[in-house]
């Protein structure tokens, strides 16, 4: 299985509404970009031409939305064939998906939590293996936010680690999802982070969320990143060294200058974590909640 190309530094999710606003952004400001392939496959005309101009200038990764890796429905081989061609056409270095499902005899239009069970581990790992064999490359699966845990027999961390180990795949580490889940399910986010297989981290997601109540956070990607999530990102760098990191913003998108400011903060934290002694990093990362 051929290794995927390397990405580095700080990245930004490319949304259609940003095509015009980011046209003058340089690879020094944004080191890589990410798209959902489902939003761009078979897109032609003006939008397709604009998109191609970006993939010719920036390294790209893909983050899938609808493969439904945890479902009992058959894998969508037509979608996978289109993704494989899309990756080749645009020289895209990575394909990732959510460790969840979004279909059950039809599309559910939401990311649903996979039951944390040994049976689900075997099922999901087998499907990831099929996808990797078909694409001819390792994929990465993302730790997702969730609001209930049906049929839970294992801890979330044990489920994630078991799937990654059995499937022999990589991890897309989302630090905002760790923070959101830590509030909603009442666990220590730093302890959770430290138990993840950092050596498998392909890259990191950082994003904002919505505070519904004191004990409820909703993963929206529609707000600025808050300080505890930035601190958790620093803790990830301390634990795993600097990993390429991408800012997700899906709606309530601010002016481009503000988005680039958050991308710049990622780069600053990466530089800080590279330069700072480990004792200083531990102190900076400590107050995650």
What pLDDT is attached to residue 177? 97
Residue 109 is predicted with a pLDDT of 62
Instruction: Give the model's pLDDT for residue 214.
Output: 85
User: In 152-193, which ranges are E strands?
Assistant: 170-174
Tens digit of each residue's pLDDT (9 = 90 or more) over 3-53: 455 899 999 999 999 999 999 999 999 999 999 999 999 999 999 999 999
Say how far apart CA 98 and CA 171 lie, in whole Å.
10
Give the residue-averaged pLDDT of 223-228. Answer: 96
According to DSSP, the residues that pair with 94 across neighbouring strands are: 61
Categorize the per-residue pLDDT at 210 as very low, low, confident or very high, splitting at 50, 70 and 90: confident
pLDDT, residue 108, reads 55
Parallel/antiparallel/unpaired status of strands 210-213 and 60-63: unpaired
> Cα(227)–Cα(194) distance, rounded to whole angstroms?
19
Locus of tokens 């996808």 = 131
What are the extents of the domains in the chain? 10-285
**Residue range 93-113: mean pLDDT, rounded:** 81
In the predicted structure, residue 65 carries a pLDDT above the cut 60? yes
pLDDT reported for residue 238:
95
CB–CB of 43/36 below 8 Å?
Answer: no
Q: Are 108 and 102 in contact (CB under 8 A)?
A: yes
pLDDT tens, 152-168? 899 999 999 999 999 99
Phi and psi at 82, nearest 5°, equal -70, -40
Element (H, E) at 179: helix 175-184
The chain-wide mean pLDDT, for the chain, equals: 91
Residue 288's pLDDT is 47
Q: Quick one: 107 exposed, middle or buried, by C-beta within 10 A (0-12, 13-18, 19+)?
A: exposed
Per-residue pLDDT band at 289 (split at 50, 70, 90) = very low
Alpha-carbon distance of 6 to 262, in angstroms, equals 22
| DSSP-derived secondary structure for 251-271 | SS---HHHHHHHHHHHHHHHH
CATH 3.20.20.150 fits 10-285, yes or no: yes
Name the more confident of 2 and 24: 24
Q: How confident is the model at residue 151 (pLDDT cuts 50, 70, 90)?
A: confident
């Amino acid at each position: 299985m051929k290794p995927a190309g390397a990405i580095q530094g700080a990245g930004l999710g490319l949304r259609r509404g940003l095509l015009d606003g980011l046209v003058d952004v340089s690879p020094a400001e944004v080191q890589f970009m990410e798209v959902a392939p489902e939003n761009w496959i078979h897109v032609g005309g003006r939008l397709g031409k604009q998109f191609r101009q970006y993939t010719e200038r920036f390294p790209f990764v893909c983050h899938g939305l609808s493969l439904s890796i945890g479902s009992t429905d058959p894998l969508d081989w037509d979608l996978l064939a289109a993704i494989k061609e899309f990756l080749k056409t645009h020289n895209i270095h990575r394909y990732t998906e959510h460790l969840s499902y979004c279909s059950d005899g039809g599309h559910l239009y939401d990311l649903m939590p996979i039951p944390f069970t040994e049976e689900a581990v075997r099922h999901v790992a087998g499907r990831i293996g099929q996808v990797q064999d078909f694409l001819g490359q390792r994929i990465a699966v993302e730790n997702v936010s969730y609001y209930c845990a049906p049929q839970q027999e294992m801890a979330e961390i044990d489920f994630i680690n078991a799937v990654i180990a059995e499937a022999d795949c990589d991890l897309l580490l989302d630090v905002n999802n760790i923070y959101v889940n830590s509030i909603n399910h009442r666990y220590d986010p730093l302890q959770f982070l430290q138990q993840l297989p950092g050596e498998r981290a392909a890259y990191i997601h950082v994003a904002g969320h919505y505070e519904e109540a004191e004990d409820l956070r909703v993963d929206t990607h529609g707000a600025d990143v808050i300080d505890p999530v930035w601190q958790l990102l620093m803790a990830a760098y301390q634990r795993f060294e600097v990993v390429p990191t991408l800012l997700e913003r899906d709606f309530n998108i601010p002016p481009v200058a503000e988005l680039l400011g958050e991308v710049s903060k990622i780069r600053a934290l990466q530089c800080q974590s590279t330069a700072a002694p480990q004792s200083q990093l531990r102190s900076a990362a400590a107050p995650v909640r």
